[in-house]
Structures are given as structure tokens and as C-alpha cells.
Structure 1
């Protein structure tokens, strides 16, 4: 087993710029193969180390978010249905700060593109969306790459404690305002 791992590491080192490019493309196409973000980031930490693995994961996750933006703008009917589902299950008045979105991206069982929907709501241009997506991808790229294997292998009580701490921090940092629209109180008479 150790010999095969060493041979994989040798192939990665000898492939030059192709290995990082293929890894970034794996991030972009991982949703087609239903591969969780955490597994790809763990792979990046193993193959490239914490520093380069984090950088490559950050680039790949940002490209994934931009691809989501392009698809969302291309197919507005599908995006509207996704927003309706989000509104139905999460409420229409829930606003999250960018810091909250960064924390939620650390929770492995929360879908990656749920946060992309929130980012789509608060951004007006692709440049703004890309900037917010980049910031929101920093925590999972770093944490999953460097400490992902520890989080994945922790005993259940420690994992539940970690999720509880993240929930408490998420709640404390949250915006304390709720926005109501005029039409929610007064309906137009036909």
C-alpha cells in the first residue's frame, strides 16, 4: 500500500502543471460525479500539501461558483424554482452575512450551492458575486485541506460538539434585522 502511495506521489511531482490543472477541473466537475467538496479538498491536501492544496481548492471552488452563476443566469426558470424551494424551507426573510456564509460552508452536509443561492441574492454583478464566492470559499478550502481528515475521523460526540459550536457562532454573528416588503402586509386590489 505504501509503495502505491509513493508511486502516486511521484507521478504528481513529475506531471508539472498538469496535476494542478486536473485537480482544479476535478473541483469544477465534481458535482457531476456527486463527489462532496470535503473529499476533493482532502485529496488536495494529501497530494499537494496544505499550502498548494488550499490554493488549488480555492481556485477550483471559485470556478465552480462562477459556473453556477453562469448556469443560473442562463436558465432563470430553474433558478426561480430553486429560490422558491429555498424560500419554502428556509424562509424568505432570512438574511445572512458573508461571515455566516463562510461558516456555513464549513459544515460538510450543507449543500455547496445553497450558499451560492444566497450569494446570488446579495450580488448584483458577476464581479461582485465572484468576489463574495471567493471569500466564502476560503474557510472550506483551508480547513478541509489541512484539517479535513481530522474532522472526518473524529468520534461522534466531538463531531456533534463541533457542529454545535459552529451553530452558536453562526447565530451570534448573524444579522439582527428582518426586512418585510410592503406587499407582505397590503395586497393590491384588482
Structure 2
């Protein structure tokens, strides 16, 4: 295992400035390659360290969010397919921006589906990008810093973590109902 780690570190060092660019581009290709966000964030922390890995993940996920916004607005068929998935998976559940941000913290939740929620909730591209980037920062930091430890946790600790996120999600829903 140590030889694999050394080999990966040598490749990163030899790639120089191109390695972060390739990593960011990988975030853009991630949906096509069916790679979960958490996997790339963990890889970013492993390959580039916490600060750089988080920074590169935030850039990559922000660019992916911007590209997704453009794609669903340029190609109505893509938007319709995403809306069908949204109806199938989440049954057109009404959510707040806070709930979407909490769901972004959960591993393996469909990133573009949550982006579609943000598109529907916001009035402009600028507002969408503001909330999208805001919702990317904390998951990028958490999964870059703790991603490996989260995936290595005992199952009961992982369940406790997910239960806490579900509790926060429910709390935001109840607060939203009281506010209306």
C-alpha cells in the first residue's frame, strides 16, 4: 500500500500545475462517469491535502453547477428527464434552500437533482449560483477533510451521522412550515 501511495504522490508531483486542472475537469465529467461527489472530494483531500483539495473541489463543483444550469436551460429534453427523475425519486417534495444544503451533505444523494431544486427555487442565474456555491463549501470541506474517516467509520457511527443529517433536514422543514 505504501508503494501505491508513493506512486500516486510521484504522479501528482510530476504532473505539476496540470494535476489540479485535471482534477477540476474530472469534477465536470463526474456526472457522465457516474462518480459520486464524495469520492472525488475524498480523492482531493488524499491527493492535494485539505486546503488545496477543498479549494479544487469547490471550483470543480461550482463549474459543474454552472454547466448544469446552462444545459438544463439550453436543452429542454435534459430538463424534462431530470424532472421525471425528481418526481420519481423525491415525489415533487417541497424543500427549502436549507434542506437542499443539508441533503448535499449526505453521501450519494444525486447532486444534479438537488441543483434542479435550486434552479426551481431561485429567480436568476446569479441567485442560483450564490446558493449553489454556498451549498458546496461545507460538503467539500467535510468530505475532503474527513471523507476517508467517514468511509472507514463503523456502520453504527455512519448511521448516527446520517440520522443527524436527517434530523436537521426535518427541522428545517418544520421551521419552514412555521414561517409560512
- 1:5, distance to aligned residue in structure 2 (A): 1.8
Q: Which structure has the greater CA radius of gyration?
A: 1
Contact 1:44 1:53 in 2 (8 A): yes
Alpha-carbon distance in structure 1 between the residues aligned to 2:162 and 2:17: 37
In the superposition, relative to structure 1, how do residues 67 and 162 fare at CA in structure 2: closer, same or farther (>3 Å)? same
In the superposition, relative to structure 1, how do residues 76 and 41 fare at CA in structure 2: closer, same or farther (>3 Å)? same
- 1:77, distance to aligned residue in structure 2 (A): 3.5
Match of 2:59 in 1: 59
Which range moved further: 108-117 or 41-50? Answer: 108-117
Contact 1:41 1:144 in 2 (8 A): yes
Match of 1:21 in 2: 21
**How many matched pairs?**
178
TM-score relative to the length of structure 2: 0.89
Contact 2:82 2:113 in 1 (8 A): no
Contact 2:103 2:109 in 1 (8 A): yes
- State the superposition RMSD in angstroms: 2.0
TM-score relative to the length of structure 1: 0.85
Match of 2:96 in 1: 96
Which range moved further: 169-178 or 70-79? Answer: 169-178
Stretches of structure 1 that go unaligned for 5 or more consecutive residues are: 180-190
Q: Counterparts of 1:108-147 in structure 2 under 5 Å?
A: 108-147=107-146
Structure with greater helix percent: 2
